[in-house]
Amino acid sequence: MTKIIDIQPAVLVTGVSSGIGLAIAEDLLHKGYRVFGSVRRAEDTESLEARWGKSFTSLVFDVTDKTTLENAVSLVESELDGQNLAALINNAGVSFAGPLIHQPLDEIRQTFEVNVFGVLTVTRAFLPLLGARSGAVGSPGRIVNISSVSGAITVPFMAAYSASKHAVEAFTQGLRRELKPYGIEVSAIEPSFIRSQLFEKAALAKPLERYTETDYAAVWQQFNKSLSEQESKAKPPEIVIRAVWHAIQAKKPRTRYPLDGIWYVGKILPDRVFDQLIFRALGITKLISNRFGR
């Protein structure tokens, strides 16, 4: 009997339990791919496997946990049986907001552990299965990093998240150039607000109750109000799905996929002019111009 893996190209997507990762995995399954998808909680595996059937294999690992990651690599290697992964899609991420002078350092460290070191650790672990190994046969795989427009633009209170995505951009460029001898293409996808649970999960920290005892209280309240308004206008995951599809299918994929025009505006305008544009968009121009205590 022919195994499914023998007739289906295989991809690995991190963070498939909800949001963008779930949408990417489902789209690739519908297009005939075998999908390995990472989840952090074992209880998520049953519903996903029931939903997607035999073409989906869940991998229970945290991108920051070396032991569970090593187990996942062994499982995927066994299932591939000598075949290369067609693509690794680094989607798992977290987002926390706050003024840099008050945001807990542990929260900032967690942002980097997941969004930066998690991406690098997972990529390094699966690189041999993408074809970065001596004597590899078959077509090399692709790496797609789900970055953000925040990798080019930093708004107030999102500096830690933006810094992590700046780092993802740098890793993407470095990997693309360093993996050229293996024929592995590396791309970054840079969406803005997409309908997902990324910011909803961050909201569990009750952001409106934070920083109320600081000088930023009024600005923080307005920032969160503006953020909620932006989230209500978020674009559907399909815009990311189309970019992922091009990145793994195109003969010559783009090095980056900016999915919002503001990315280009930020590249063109002088910094201080762009500052004012950001303040206006957030509705904090007057508040941010106040000199605290003066």
pTM attached to this predicted model: 0.92
In the chain, the domains with their CATH numbers are: 7-214+236-268 (3.40.50.720)
Average pLDDT over residues 9-21: 95
Residue 161 annotated in active site: yes
Confidence of residue 4 (pLDDT cuts 50, 70, 90): very low
Confidence of residue 97 (pLDDT cuts 50, 70, 90): very high
DSSP run (H or E) holding 27: helix 19-30
pLDDT in tens, 260-283: 999 999 999 999 999 999 999 999
- C-alpha closest to that of 15 among 207, 149, 144, 175: 144
- C-alpha closest to that of 29 among 77, 81, 89, 110: 89
pLDDT over 60 (residue 152): yes
- Return the minimum-mean-pLDDT range out of 33-42, 68-77, 124-133, 135-144: 135-144
Which residues make Cβ contacts (< 8 Å) with residue 27, sequence separation at least 6?
Answer: 241, 244, 245
Which pLDDT does position 204 carry in this prediction? 53
Contact (Cβ atoms closer than 8 angstroms) between residue 76 and residue 67: no
Contact (Cβ atoms closer than 8 angstroms) between residue 170 and residue 163: no
Which of 33, 161, 211, 257 is labelled catalytic?
161
pLDDT in tens, 33-74: 999 999 999 988 999 999 999 999 999 999 999 999 999 999
Mean pLDDT of the chain: 91
* Burial of 45 per CB tally in 10 Å (0-12, 13-18, 19+): middle
Confidence of residue 290 (pLDDT cuts 50, 70, 90): confident
Residue given tokens 């309908």 in the structure block: 195
